[in-house]
Amino acid sequence: MLRNWRGSDTPAPSVKLMEINEASFDLQSRIWIRDPGDSDFLGIRGRFVKDVTDRFEAAGISIPYPHRTVEGSLDTSGRERSEAISDD
C-alpha cells in the first residue's frame, strides 16, 4: 500500500474529497496508527502525506499553479515626495 507505513491497515486509511479549488484538491484523510503511544505521530503523518503526493505524481495527477497578470502604472516623477519633504 504505502511505503514506510507505520500505521495500521485495519481499518484502511480513508480519504474524502472536501473541495476542488483553482490550485488544490482539499482532501481529508483518516489513518490509524498501529501504536497509539508512538511519539513520532508527526513523522508518520508526514510520510503518509509524502506517499500520497508521490502516488499522485506517479499517476500523472498535477494541479498547475494559477497565473495572474497585474497591470497598472507607477508615477516615478517624485513630485509628491519632494512636496511632502518640503512641508516639514
pTM higher than 0.75? no
% of the chain at pLDDT higher than 70: 75
Q: Quick check: helix, strand or coil at residue 8?
A: strand
The answer to whether the beta carbons of residues 41 and 31 sit under 8 Å apart is no
Beta strands in the chain (DSSP E): 7-8, 14-21, 24-30, 32-33
Residue 30 reports pLDDT greater than 90: no
- Secondary structure letter of residue 59 according to DSSP: T
Instruction: Indicate the domain borders of the chain.
Output: 1-65
Taken in order 67, 73, 78, 79, is the CA torsion positive or negative?
negative
Band (28; pLDDT cuts 50, 70, 90): very high
Residue 44 reports pLDDT greater than 60: yes
Average pLDDT, the chain: 78
